Amino acid sequence: MSLRRAVWLAIGAAFGAVMANASVISFTCDPDVAASTCTYLNTVIAGQYSSTFSNANANIYIQYGTTNLASSTTGVDNQVTYSQYAAALAAQASASGNPVQADAVEALTNYDASTYGKDNVEVTSALANALGIGGEVQGGNAGITGPGGIVCFTPGTVGCYSGIVTVTNTPNVFYYGNLGGSEPSDEYDFYNTVEHQVDELLGTASCVTTQTSPLSNGCPGTITPSAADLFRYSSAGNLVVDSSLSVTPGAYFSYNGGVTNGATTNTGVKYYNTLDNGEDYGDFVTNCAGGPGSLSVQDAEGCAGADAGLNITNDGGAEINILNAVGYDVKTIATPEPSTVGMLALAGLAVAFVDLRRRRRA
């Protein structure tokens, strides 16, 4: 979803028990979520993040509700100045020796500073805490009380969540792989749908909204980028900036100034959605026609019957690379295979619009 925030009105409801670990991702489940589902989230899914990152700390409330396929929400906009964000990432890169973060800091200096240097940057509460700048967030580092309540200012603690993930309560939409059996052709994998939203709560989401025409900035400020927006390119050295939003398909994530497309699948590279189509600007164009090997967790749409078992560790690593670049330390660094962007045929993106059964992720 776009990082536009609305302060939700408090509503009375019972909470699921917190299965928390302060050093990893943890999930608290609404009573409507099956106990076996919640257990799987707190073991297998949380384990994928904790085994990948050393500083990804977030507690997340999971509920069913009225939404397209799934959506995520935080309490309010969290913003720091560009210089605060850049300095925090530079300090992290220096301390960790992480080459992706080192490249990201260089890109911030060479390409972003002249465009965004006087503005704020949107960070999620989880990212602010990962970078050690939670205390510098303007207005206070805010979370949200579950299952859909009011803003709170100690995100990551019991009852004050880093975010809420809502998945559709439409019957017979989701496949639960932990229950066994094969994924039906008209159902979507529940767990990678949740991971898509977790990634956004950690920091992959965009401040650009495609819900209006033309594309517009969805965060307070004139041209406020999210942290992930700082790493969107159209070619080597050419940053796609939020103040020039009439962008043709072809924008991609790069941690090293556009030289490398850092979002890969088993069959190729991924491009961002940049159209005024209601899908998220921070998600990838979906190619359901390409089969399971072409899919990623951060695709704009789910592909029914084709996404069973898809997760951030087996889809090419796009989400890991983005989260690494914006500030999360990877325990075992696996540099993505370089992709020579100039040789990629953008015409291949057309297959993404084949009318297959799919649902949009918010």
pLDDT tens digits for 5-25?
A: 332 222 222 223 333 333 489
Give residue 75's pLDDT: 81
Give the burial class of 333: count Cβ atoms within 10 A of its Cβ; 0-12 exposed, 13-18 middle, 19 or more buried.
Answer: middle
Q: Residue 50 has what pLDDT?
A: 94
Burial class (CB in 10 A: 0-12, 13-18, 19+), 222: exposed
134: which residues sit within 8 A by CB, 6+ positions away? 125, 128, 141
- What's the burial of 103, exposed, middle or buried (CB within 10 Å: 0-12/13-18/19+)? buried
Determine the pLDDT at residue 276: 74
pLDDT of residue 70: 96
Locate 213 and state its tokens. Answer: 């025409």
Query: What is the model's pLDDT at position 329?
Result: 95
Q: Are residues 211 and 351 in the same domain?
A: yes
- Could you tell me the two tokens for 24? 């990893």
In the chain, what is the straight-line distance between the N-terminal and C-terminal CA atoms, in Å?
4
List of the chain residues with pLDDT < 70: 1-23, 212-215, 242-248, 332-358, 360
Give the number of other CB atoms < 10 A from CB of residue 236.
14
Q: 313 lies in which domain range?
A: 79-137+206-360
How many domains is the chain partitioned into structurally?
Answer: 2
261: its two tokens: 């497309």
Is residue 62 domain-resident?
yes
Residue 216 belongs to a domain: yes
Q: Check if the beta carbon of residue 126 is closer than 8 Å to that of residue 58.
A: yes
If asked whether residues 324 and 193 sit together in one domain, one would say no
pLDDT of residue 349: 29
pLDDT value of position 123: 97
H-only helix segments in 97-181:
99-107, 113-116, 125-130
Q: Which of 176, 202, 228 is the last residue of a domain?
A: 202
346 in a structural domain = yes
* pLDDT value of residue 179: 94
Same domain, 319 and 270: yes
Among 202, 231, 253, identify where a domain stops: 202
Question: What's the confidence (pLDDT) of residue 247?
Answer: 57
CA distance 313 to 339: 19
Inside any domain, residue 67: yes
Cα dihedral sign, 230-235-238-242 = negative
